[in-house]
Copies of this chain bind each other. A is one copy, B any other.
């Protein structure tokens, strides 16, 4: 299949696919007239990239998963490098969530204080 169909099936755009290729995440054979030619394995790769990216993984973080699939594994996270990314991402998420919750706490406190000042005598 060509790039348009792959984009459609992967729920993304041709621009994104070419970008992935520029990053080395995706490679494509070329037909005689120079167009990119993809197969079902590439559909799988794009699906892997997109599902991880949608969760919040940086494209660079999807690289181990993609390489794992290209190595013939049926699952992108069958390789240690992918699992390591899972762990790191988990830690990042925990830290990020903690920061946001701390921020939320501060904002809520400030909001309550501000509202108290606005109606000092209300219930």
Give the chain B neighbours of A37 by CB distance below 8 A.
Answer: none
Known: A77-B114, A96-B100, A103-B55. Contact between A108 and B83, CB under 8 A? Answer: no
- Neighbour of A107 across the interface among B78, B93, B108, B114, CB < 8 A: B93
Query: CB within 8 Å of B: which residues of A?
Result: 55-56, 75, 77-78, 82-83, 86-87, 89-90, 93-94, 96-97, 99-101, 103-104, 106-108, 110-111, 113-115, 117-118
Overall SS of chain A's interface: helix
Give the chain B neighbours of A108 by CB distance below 8 A.
Answer: 90
Known: A55-B106, A103-B55. Contact between A78 and B114, CB under 8 A? Answer: yes
Minimum distance in angstroms from A23 CB to a CB of chain B: 22
